[in-house]
Amino acid sequence: MNSWQSQQSGAQASMLLNSILKAEFFEGLICLREVSTLLQPVSLALQAVGTDLVQALNNIDVTLSVLRQWRSQCETTFSKLFAEVTAMASDLDVQVSKPRTAKRSVYRSNACWVMMLKVITVLMCLTQCWIR
């Protein structure tokens, strides 16, 4: 990238590479894979030409039960996903570290939450909305 003729393209490619080679990117990628794998059967069933609504509702119920299971067993679910992130990071020589936190903060939250926790929180909220 340093030998590219366009400095702007080289700089953008370098920034993209630096973003991709961070543990937060791996966390988001693994979570996205898990959620996409879970939602794919429901999505395909609802998009089919001859959609069987009973089967689609059964797929939705299965999806909801898996989300409930993830929620009830959040420690094991998170541990499994984090182990995958750690393995991927070690394969690419990326260091997984705790994000910086402020010791005392008045105007904002004290912790920098990683993408994985945000995704899991959104899934939990969606589960609550679908259950009602």
**In this structure, is residue 80 part of a structural domain?**
yes
Residue 71 falls inside a structural domain: yes
pLDDT in tens, the chain (132 residues): 556 677 777 778 888 877 777 778 888 888 889 888 988 888 888 888 887 888 888 888 898 899 889 888 988 888 898 899 889 888 888 888 776 666 665 555 544 445 556 666 666 666 555 554
Domain-located, residue 34: yes
C-alpha 88/C-alpha 53 separation (Å) is 39
| 8 Å CB contact between 24 and 114 | yes
Assess if residue 117 is contained within a domain: yes
**Cβ proximity of 65 and 76 under 8 Å:** no
Domain region containing 71: 22-98+106-131
The reply to whether the predicted model has a pTM over 0.85 is: no
Residue 8 lies in a domain: no
Number of domains the chain contains: 1
In a domain, 88, yes or no: yes
Instruction: Say how far apart CA 106 and CA 131 lie, in whole Å.
Output: 36
Closest residue by Cα to residue 69 from 25, 107, 27, 34: 34
- Assess if residue 27 is contained within a domain: yes
Q: Which of 4, 31, 59 is nearest to 121 (CA)?
A: 31
